[in-house]
A and B are shown apart, each in its own frame.
Chain A
Amino acid sequence: MPANPFNGQTNYGIGIGLRVPHYRHILEKKPLVGWFEIISENFMVDGGRPLEILDSILEQYRVVQHGVSAYFGNADPLNREHLKKLKRLVKRTNTPWLSDHLCWGSVDGRYSHDLLPMPYTMAVAKHTAEKIRQASDFLEVPICVENVSSYAEFHQSEMTEWEFLTEVVERADCGILLDVNNIYVSSLNHSFNPRDYLRNVPHHRVGQIHIAGHTKYERYVLDTHDHPVCDPVWSLYAEAIQLCGPTATLLEWDDLIPTFDEVHAEALKAEKHLHSHETALA
């Protein structure tokens, strides 16, 4: 199950996000890390330090691209200039798959730089799936779409988020980057059972999993990526591994970033769940 068409038939284990405060440590100490996930947009430039760092990382590590601005859910067409730059980066990194979010983020060329929630309707699912297909055809690499954390729902929605996600990925014939932290955050914000979500997505399409920390406020929860992973998310992750198999897993830590070793140690906590699945199969 972990190696599938949606992650380029790879069998990656646990990875962590490549972040600026860790560059020096990684390049000097060369820690043993399964793979790094890069935010594509940080390297979709024409020159300078970002690309030099990336090339140094590529000499020693496997890299997977994760994007934040493809906005497959925009009503507007795909941004061709963005896709061209993304493709250039794909060629540089040889990423076996790439991911971006199931969301929208801009209208008429005005960008929110946010991952905005979708109205869950059939017409929107068809439109979004068509755009994912177009992007995949152009980029010539498998695409996994990630479920986002959300803080609002639309009156206009006609189905659950997991039904919408399923509709989109089946129509686009693409993979899922299953973010179990986002499922948990949204379940608290919208009062649904996160296990209903987890159990009702097409597990064979899950090419990658994200785990992360979040912040609880009095009346809602924000996806802040500035804490260790909490126990309920580990518990959801364990179930995700049981359902999907030992899937490539990535810890996101984007704010109040601790030392590399701390982030790495947090990510490696996922190992026991990956191994428990292997033990269960044996």
Chain B
Amino acid sequence: MRPPWLENPALKTPRRVDSVASLKQLQEVMSVALYRPLTDEEGMMDTWTDDRPMSQMAETFIKPNDRLTSFDRLEIYNRVYWFRILNGLTEDYPGLRALLGDRRFDALSQAYLTAYPSGSWTLRNLGSRLVNFIQAEPRLTRPKTAQAVDVARMEWAQTLAFDEAARPSVKGDDLLGVPPAELHLDLQPYLVLLDLHCAADEFVHEAKKLGNGLRSEASNVTDHAPERHARKPIAKLRKEDVWVAVHRSDNMIFFKRIEREAFLLLTALRDGCSLLEALDKALAGASPEVDWAARLREWFDNWARLGWLCERRV
């Protein structure tokens, strides 16, 4: 499961660093040494990409001193790298960890971060590809893959809801008099809509209550190995089709359950449909027993009050 760049046997340490190209070469070698996973004993691997002893490879670029070998010194960076990113994922995914248990969560995290190292300058985006990875590697979460996907989607949605932009919102009065076929609205960037097949919202809410609720800030300190504490069990994740809007209000994150038709309507608006087209999509096949006119008024009043709707930028 390791990507090819992490196992490239052609990597060579430059003898001198006298150009940008040789600097790049050295940085490629060192980054591969750092990004290769730790052993079960949380140490650096014994062999390099070309099957040479790792100690021999480390000696090609790291000086030893009177207390540490080249291997030892490089291993400090290898460990710090993994502790930092594993801690980052652990802090952002307490629900997924509760669902899978520590051992499987750690295995999933290591496999994910090996396949997809951070592609962003901020740790905030560390989980951006986790949902896709869980879907692509179901053996790591079986038989809970479907639930793991939903829980991971909920937890990534919180990251977005926390600090995505807020645009000026549209008030209810702004909508009056505009023909539905010509009215195009957008949704706040911080609003995430989810269709789930289990009650992942309740589950994540419970998991958050057991954690400290604070994601670590960026800093330049070295990290420790992720801590493992005994935790109270969380109630089972119930199978249930639910539609959830993850949003923020007064800078607090909320999970709001919405009706299926409301989810379809909002999704269509976000996709660029006019209000008329969005209504067609949302209410196709809807029960004729419901007073949809009254329901729509209630929804739009509510969404306008929450500030979810904004003008569509051309």
**Contact surface of A with B, Cβ cutoff 8 Å:** 19-20, 39, 41-42, 44-52, 68-69, 74-76, 79, 82, 101, 104, 106-116, 119, 121-124, 127, 148, 151-156, 189-191, 219-220, 222-226, 252, 254-255
Nearest opposing residue in chain B for A45, CB measure = B163
B16 pairs with A156, CB closer than 8 A: yes
Q: In the assembled complex, which residues on chain A have CB atoms less than 8 Å from the CB atom of B65? A: 189-191
Interchain CA distance A42-B61 in the complex, whole Å = 34
Interchain CA distance A224-B65 in the complex, whole Å = 21
Interface residues on B, range: 35 or more
Looking at the assembled complex, report how far the CB atom of B258 sits from the nearest CB atom of chain A, in whole angstroms: 21
Interchain CA distance A52-B68 in the complex, whole Å = 46
Looking at the assembled complex, report how far the CB atom of A194 sits from the nearest CB atom of chain B, in whole angstroms: 16
Q: Contact flags (1/0) for B1-14 with A, using CB distance below 8 Å?
A: 00001000000001
Interchain CA distance A222-B73 in the complex, whole Å = 12
Q: In the assembled complex, which residues on chain A have CB atoms less than 8 Å from the CB atom of B263? A: none
A155 pairs with B61, CB closer than 8 A: yes
Residue B39, interface by CB 8 Å: no
Residue B72, interface by CB 8 Å: yes
Interchain CA distance A116-B80 in the complex, whole Å = 11
Residue B231, interface by CB 8 Å: no
Interchain CA distance A128-B29 in the complex, whole Å = 19
Contact A107 B84, CB 8 Å, known A39-B217, A41-B121, A155-B60: no
Nearest opposing residue in chain B for A152, CB measure = B73
A111 pairs with B217, CB closer than 8 A: no
Q: In the assembled complex, which residues on chain B have CB atoms less than 8 Å from the CB atom of A223? A: 220-222
Q: In the assembled complex, which residues on chain B have CB atoms less than 8 Å from the CB atom of A46? A: 163-165, 189
A110 pairs with B35, CB closer than 8 A: yes
Interchain CA distance A121-B84 in the complex, whole Å = 29
A110 pairs with B119, CB closer than 8 A: yes
13 contacts between A and B (CB under 8 A): A41-B121, A46-B163, A51-B163, A75-B20, A112-B81, A123-B23, A124-B17, A124-B23, A155-B62, A156-B14, A191-B65, A220-B67, A255-B221
Q: In the assembled complex, which residues on chain B have CB atoms less than 8 Å from the CB atom of A41? A: 121-122, 218
The residue that A115 contacts in the complex, of B63, B123, B220, with Cβ under 8 A, is B220
Contact A20 B122, CB 8 Å, known A114-B81, A219-B72: no
Nearest opposing residue in chain B for A81, CB measure = B121
B163 pairs with A49, CB closer than 8 A: yes
Q: Identify the interface centre among A19, A69, A109, A111: most chain B CB within 10 Å of its CB.
A: A111
Which residues of B (170-206) have their CB < 8 Å from a CB of A?
189-190
B24 pairs with A19, CB closer than 8 A: no
B34 pairs with A112, CB closer than 8 A: yes
Q: In the assembled complex, which residues on chain A have CB atoms less than 8 Å from the CB atom of B30? A: 116
B163 pairs with A222, CB closer than 8 A: no
Looking at the assembled complex, report how far the CB atom of B2 sits from the nearest CB atom of chain A, in whole angstroms: 13
Contact A156 B17, CB 8 Å, known A49-B251, A191-B66: yes
Contact A113 B118, CB 8 Å, known A42-B217, A152-B77: yes
Nearest opposing residue in chain A for B30, CB measure = A116
Q: Contact flags (1/0) for B48-78 with A, using CB distance below 8 Å?
A: 0000000000001111011110001110110
Contact A47 B77, CB 8 Å, known A75-B27, A123-B23, A154-B61: no
B121 pairs with A75, CB closer than 8 A: no
Residue B28, interface by CB 8 Å: yes
Looking at the assembled complex, report how far the CB atom of B10 sits from the nearest CB atom of chain A, in whole angstroms: 15
Which residues of B (209-227) have their CB < 8 Å from a CB of A?
214, 217-222
A48 pairs with B74, CB closer than 8 A: no
Q: In the assembled complex, which residues on chain B have CB atoms less than 8 Å from the CB atom of A52? A: 251
Looking at the assembled complex, report how far the CB atom of A112 sits from the nearest CB atom of chain B, in whole angstroms: 6
